[in-house]
Structure 1
């Protein structure tokens, strides 16, 4: 089953869900602000994205700027920051099988699916 890590307050995330609905594919919505991924789940998502932890961080979020920007952080510390503050996680994340993408670009999402 396709999984979509979704933030209902994000326009790009809402557009992604609308696209998924129009596609007719079965998918599961995970509101990651209400049900944040664990450390291990984030590691798994990063592996599926083939990305480094910093690539998944919304670096313009106030929490990031005030608490983490310009600090020397390990990958584990960055992941822990996202676990503690899930608003920092880039969205939407679409997972299909063992691959994932950030579903902001609908053309790219269409190719992925």
Structure 2
């Protein structure tokens, strides 16, 4: 089943959701600000994305700038920061079985559905 980690307040996330709706495929919407990630789940997602944890961080978020920006953090600490502050997680993220993409731009989603 396809899953989209979605924030309804984000325009890119809404665009990603629209792409999935237009595809007519079954998918599940996960509002990740309400149903937050565990460290284990976030590590698994990062592995599917094939990226370093820092590449999943929204570095323009105020919390990142004020709490983390100028610190040297390990991958584990970055993951812990995202779990503690899910607003830091880039969005939308779409997972289809063992593949995942960040929907920025939203057209990236087409590659895995």
Give me the TM-score of the superposition, normalised by structure 2: 0.97
RMSD (CA atoms): 0.8
Output aligned runs, 1:60-75, within 5 Å.
60-75=60-75
- Three-state SS of the structure 1 residue aligned to 2:73 is coil
Secondary structure, aligned partner of 2:9: coil
Task: Report the CA distance between 1:50 and its aligned residue.
Answer: 0.3
Q: TM-score, normalised by structure 1?
A: 0.97
Aligned to 2:31: 31
Q: Give the aligned partner of residue 4 of structure 2.
A: 4
* Structure 1 unaligned regions, length at least 5: none
d(CA) in 1 for partners of 2:11, 2:21: 15
Gaps of 5+ in 2: none
Structure 1 ranges of 4+ moved more than 2 A = 104-108
Give the count of matched residue pairs: 113
